[in-house]
Chain A
Amino acid sequence: MTDFTVMLVDDEEDFLETLAKRLAKRNLCVLKAGSGEAALETIRKTPVDVVALDVRMPGMDGIAVLKAIKAFDPAIEVVMLTGHASVEAAHEGIAQGAFDYLMKPVAIDDLLFKLQDAYKARTINLKRK
Chain B
Amino acid sequence: MMGRIREYWNRLFFPSQPPLSEEAAEKLRVDFKDRYHHFKLLLSANKQALEKMAAIEGALRGESAFGMTFVRSTCTAIAASVLRMIRCMEVLAPEKYPELRQQFNAIQQQILKLLETSFRPHVDSALVVPLNVIDNTWREQAGGKMANLGELHGHTRMNIPDGFVITTAAYTRFMAHSGLQDEIDRLLQVADAEDTAGLMGMSSRIQQVVLKAPIPPDLASAIDLAWKALAARHGTGLRIALRSSSLFEDSEAVTFAGQFRTELNVSRDHLWESYREVVASKYSLQALTYRLRRGIRDEDLAVAVGAMVMVDAMTGGVAYSVSPVDPADRSIHIDAAWGLPKTIVDGSAAFDSFTVDRSPELRLAQQTVRHKKDLFVCNPEDGVCQMVAAGEMTDRPCLTPEQAVAVAKVTLDIEAHYNRPQDIEWALTADGGVTVLQCRPLSVAVLEDGGVQSAAAVAEAEVLLEGGVTASPGVGSGPVFLADRRADALTFPPGAVLVVRQAAPHWATLIGRASAVVSEQGGFAGHLANVAREFGVPALFGCPEAMARLGAAQEVTLDADRRKVYAGIIEGLQARPPKVVNPIIDSPVFQLLQKLDRLIVPLNLLDPTAREFHAQNCRTFHDITRFLHEKSVMEMFNFGKDHQFPERSSKQLFFEVPMQWWVLNLDDGFKEEVDGKYVRLENIASTPMLAFWEGFTAIPWAGPPPIDHRGLASVLFQSTANTALTTGRQSRYAEKNYFMISRHYCNLSSRLGYHFATLEALVSERAPENYITFQFKGGAADIERRLRRVHFIADLLENYAFRVTTREDHLTARIDNDDSAFMYERLKILGYFSLHTRQIDMVMKNNARVQALRDKMLADIDGELLASPSAPQHIGPDIS
Chain A residues packing against B (C-beta within 8 Å): 1, 83-87, 90-91, 94, 100-101, 103-105, 107, 109-110, 113, 117, 120-121, 124, 127-128
Q: A104-B189, A124-B34 are in contact. Are A85 and B83 (CB under 8 A)?
A: no
Chain A min CB distance to B765 (Å): 10
Q: Give chain A's interface secondary structure class.
A: helix
Is the CB of B267 closer than 8 A to any CB of chain A?
no
Is the CB of B251 closer than 8 A to any CB of chain A?
no
Per the bound structure, the CA–CA distance linking A94 and B45 in Å amounts to 14
Most chain A C-beta atoms within 10 Å of own C-beta, residue among B75, B80, B185: B80
Is the CB of B197 closer than 8 A to any CB of chain A?
no
Per the bound structure, the CA–CA distance linking A110 and B209 in Å amounts to 32
- Partner among A1, A85, A109 whose Cβ is within 8 Å of the Cβ of B76: A85
Residues of B within 8 A of A94 (CB): 80, 83-84, 87
Not counting A87-B80, A124-B30, a sample of 18 additional A-B residue pairs whose C-beta atoms are within 8 angstroms of each other reads: A1-B878, A83-B186, A83-B189, A84-B186, A85-B73, A90-B79, A90-B83, A91-B83, A94-B80, A100-B84, A101-B80, A103-B73, A104-B190, A105-B190, A107-B768, A117-B44, A121-B41, A124-B34
Per the bound structure, the CA–CA distance linking A100 and B30 in Å amounts to 22
7 smallest CB-CB distances across A and B, nearest first, come from A85-B73, A85-B72, A90-B80, A85-B76, A87-B76, A124-B34, A83-B189
- Partner among A85, A87, A117 whose Cβ is within 8 Å of the Cβ of B112: A87
Chain B min CB distance to A55 (Å): 12
Is the CB of B184 closer than 8 A to any CB of chain A?
no
Per the bound structure, the CA–CA distance linking A85 and B108 in Å amounts to 15
- Partner among A87, A104, A110, A127 whose Cβ is within 8 Å of the Cβ of B75: A87
Closest to A121 in B: B37
Residues of A within 8 A of B72 (CB): 85
- Partner among A84, A100, A109, A128 whose Cβ is within 8 Å of the Cβ of B34: A128
Please provide the chain B residues from 82 to 127 with a CB less than 8 Å away from any CB of chain A in the complex. Answer: 83-84, 87, 108, 111-112
Is the CB of B33 closer than 8 A to any CB of chain A?
yes
- Partner among A101, A103, A113 whose Cβ is within 8 Å of the Cβ of B769: A113
Closest to B75 in A: A87
Contact between chains at A84 and B185 (CB < 8 Å):
yes
Chain A min CB distance to B37 (Å): 6
Chain B min CB distance to A12 (Å): 10
Is the CB of B69 closer than 8 A to any CB of chain A?
yes
Chain B min CB distance to A16 (Å): 16
Closest to B40 in A: A117
Chain B residues packing against A (C-beta within 8 Å): 30, 33-34, 37, 41, 44, 69, 72-73, 75-77, 79-80, 83-84, 87, 108, 111-112, 185-186, 189-190, 766, 768-769, 878, 880
Contact between chains at A113 and B766 (CB < 8 Å):
yes
Contact between chains at A103 and B185 (CB < 8 Å):
no
A-B contacts, 20 of them at CB < 8 A, read A83-B186, A85-B73, A85-B76, A87-B79, A90-B79, A90-B80, A94-B87, A100-B80, A101-B80, A103-B73, A103-B77, A104-B189, A104-B190, A109-B766, A113-B766, A113-B768, A117-B37, A121-B37, A124-B34, A127-B33
Contact between chains at B112 and A128 (CB < 8 Å):
no
Residues of B within 8 A of A87 (CB): 75-76, 79-80, 108, 111-112
Residues of A within 8 A of B37 (CB): 117, 120-121, 124
Residues of A within 8 A of B73 (CB): 85, 103
Q: Give chain B's interface secondary structure class.
A: helix
Chain A min CB distance to B803 (Å): 22
Chain B min CB distance to A62 (Å): 14
Residues of B within 8 A of A117 (CB): 37, 41, 44
Closest to B77 in A: A103
Per the bound structure, the CA–CA distance linking A107 and B80 in Å amounts to 17
Chain B min CB distance to A10 (Å): 13
Per the bound structure, the CA–CA distance linking A113 and B30 in Å amounts to 21
Per the bound structure, the CA–CA distance linking A94 and B189 in Å amounts to 22
Residues of A within 8 A of B75 (CB): 85, 87
Residues of A within 8 A of B69 (CB): 85
Per the bound structure, the CA–CA distance linking A128 and B37 in Å amounts to 13
- Partner among A109, A110, A113, A124 whose Cβ is within 8 Å of the Cβ of B33: A124
Chain A min CB distance to B409 (Å): 52
Residues of A within 8 A of B33 (CB): 124, 127
Per the bound structure, the CA–CA distance linking A96 and B146 in Å amounts to 49
- Partner among A1, A84, A110, A128 whose Cβ is within 8 Å of the Cβ of B189: A84
Residues of A within 8 A of B880 (CB): 1, 120
Chain B min CB distance to A48 (Å): 20
Chain B min CB distance to A104 (Å): 7
Residues of A within 8 A of B80 (CB): 87, 90, 94, 100-101
Residues of B within 8 A of A124 (CB): 30, 33-34, 37
Residues of B within 8 A of A1 (CB): 878, 880
Contact between chains at A103 and B84 (CB < 8 Å):
no
Contact between chains at B186 and A109 (CB < 8 Å):
no
Residues of B within 8 A of A90 (CB): 76, 79-80, 83
Residues of B within 8 A of A91 (CB): 83
Residues of A within 8 A of B112 (CB): 87
Closest to A93 in B: B80
Chain B min CB distance to A83 (Å): 5
Per the bound structure, the CA–CA distance linking A84 and B188 in Å amounts to 10
Residues of B within 8 A of A100 (CB): 80, 84
Per the bound structure, the CA–CA distance linking A74 and B878 in Å amounts to 27
Closest to B769 in A: A113
Residues of B within 8 A of A86 (CB): 76
Closest to A95 in B: B83
Per the bound structure, the CA–CA distance linking A104 and B87 in Å amounts to 23
Chain A min CB distance to B178 (Å): 15
Chain B min CB distance to A21 (Å): 20
Most chain A C-beta atoms within 10 Å of own C-beta, residue among B79, B108, B189: B189
Contact between chains at A127 and B189 (CB < 8 Å):
no
Per the bound structure, the CA–CA distance linking A109 and B79 in Å amounts to 22
Residues of A within 8 A of B83 (CB): 90-91, 94
Closest to A114 in B: B44
Per the bound structure, the CA–CA distance linking A105 and B73 in Å amounts to 11
Closest to A12 in B: B186
Chain A min CB distance to B763 (Å): 14
Per the bound structure, the CA–CA distance linking A101 and B77 in Å amounts to 9
Residues of A within 8 A of B768 (CB): 107, 109-110, 113
Chain A min CB distance to B92 (Å): 14
Residues of B within 8 A of A107 (CB): 768
Chain B min CB distance to A84 (Å): 7
Per the bound structure, the CA–CA distance linking A37 and B765 in Å amounts to 37
Residues of B within 8 A of A105 (CB): 190
Closest to B79 in A: A87
Per the bound structure, the CA–CA distance linking A90 and B72 in Å amounts to 13
Per the bound structure, the CA–CA distance linking A105 and B536 in Å amounts to 33
Chain B min CB distance to A26 (Å): 12
Closest to A104 in B: B189
Contact between chains at A127 and B30 (CB < 8 Å):
yes
